[in-house]
Chain A
Amino acid sequence: MNNLRGVYIIWYRDLLRFWRDRARLISAFIMPFLFLVIFGTGIASSFIGEAGSGGFDYIKFMYPGVIGMVVLFTSIMTGVSVVWDREFGFLKEVLVAPISRTAVAIGKALGGATIATIQGTIMLVFIPFAHVSISVEGAFLLIALMFVFALSLTSMGLLIASRIRSMEAFQVVVQMILFPLLFISPAMFPTQFLPSWLGTVVKFNPVSYGIDSMRQAVLGSQDSAMFGIELFGYHMPIVLDVVVVALFGIIMGTLAIRSFRIQE
Chain B
Amino acid sequence: MQKIIEVEHIVKKFGDLVAVDDVSFEVKEGEIFGFLGPNGAGKTTTINILCTLMKPTSGRATLNGFDVVHQQNEVRKSLGLVFQDPSLDIKLSALQNLEFHAGIYSIPRSVRQKRIEEIMKMVDLWDRRKDMVQHFSGGMRRRLEIGRGLLHYPRVLFLDEPTLGLDPQTRFYIWSYILDLRKRENITVFLTTHYMDEATVADRIAIIDQGRIIALDTPDALKRMVGGDIVTLKTDDAEVAMAEILEQYNIEAQRGSEGIFFEVQNGEEFIPTLVNNFKSGLHSISVHRPTLDDVFMKLTGREIREEEGGEAVMKKMWAMRSARGGAGKFH
Instruction: Assess whether B53 is in contact with A264, with CB atoms less than 8 Å apart.
Output: yes
Is A233 among interface residues, defined by CB-CB distance under 8 A?
A: no
Instruction: Assess whether B106 is in contact with A13, with CB atoms less than 8 Å apart.
Output: no
Choice from B55, B85, B92, B106 contacting A89 with Cβ under 8 Å: B85
Flag B87-112 by CB within 8 Å of A: 1 or 0 each.
Answer: 11111100010001101111000000
Taking CB as reference atom, which chain A residue is nearest B78?
Answer: A98
Taking CB as reference atom, which chain B residue is nearest A2?
Answer: B106
Is B156 among interface residues, defined by CB-CB distance under 8 A?
A: no
Is B83 among interface residues, defined by CB-CB distance under 8 A?
A: yes
* Bound: A94/B54 CA distance, A: 14
Taking CB as reference atom, which chain B residue is nearest A101?
Answer: B72
Stretch at the interface among A15-23, A49-57, A110-118, A125-133: A15-23
Instruction: Assess whether A9 is in contact with B52, with CB atoms less than 8 Å apart.
Output: no
Q: How many residues does chain A have at the interface if contact means C-beta atoms less than 8 Å apart?
A: 27
Q: What are the residues of chain A within 8 A of B103 when measuring CB–CB?
A: 5-6, 8-9, 12
Is B51 among interface residues, defined by CB-CB distance under 8 A?
A: yes
* Bound: A99/B76 CA distance, A: 9
* Bound: A98/B79 CA distance, A: 10
Taking CB as reference atom, which chain A residue is nearest B104?
Answer: A97
Chain A contact residues: over half helix, strand or loop, or mixed? helix
Is A204 among interface residues, defined by CB-CB distance under 8 A?
A: no
Instruction: Assess whether B53 is in contact with A6, with CB atoms less than 8 Å apart.
Output: no
Q: What are the residues of chain B within 8 A of A236 when measuring CB–CB?
A: none
* Chain A stretch 55-96: residues in CB contact (< 8 A) with chain B: 85, 88-96
* Bound: A264/B53 CA distance, A: 6
Chain B contact residues: over half helix, strand or loop, or mixed? loop
* Bound: A12/B96 CA distance, A: 11
Instruction: Assess whether A93 is in contact with B101, with CB atoms less than 8 Å apart.
Output: yes
Q: What are the residues of chain A within 8 A of B72 when measuring CB–CB?
A: 98
Known pairs A6-B104, A95-B53, A98-B72. 4 more at Cβ < 8 A? A2-B106, A13-B100, A92-B53, A93-B87
B-contacting residues of A (Cβ < 8 Å)?
2, 5-6, 8-10, 12-13, 16-17, 20-21, 85, 88-100, 264
A-contacting residues of B (Cβ < 8 Å)?
48, 51-55, 72-74, 76-77, 81, 83, 85-92, 96, 100-101, 103-106, 148
Query: Can you list 25 A-B contacts with CB-CB less than 8 angstroms, sorted by A residue number?
Result: A2-B106, A5-B103, A6-B103, A9-B100, A10-B104, A13-B89, A13-B92, A17-B91, A21-B91, A88-B87, A88-B89, A92-B53, A92-B83, A92-B85, A92-B87, A93-B87, A93-B148, A96-B76, A98-B72, A98-B73, A98-B74, A98-B76, A98-B106, A99-B73, A100-B73
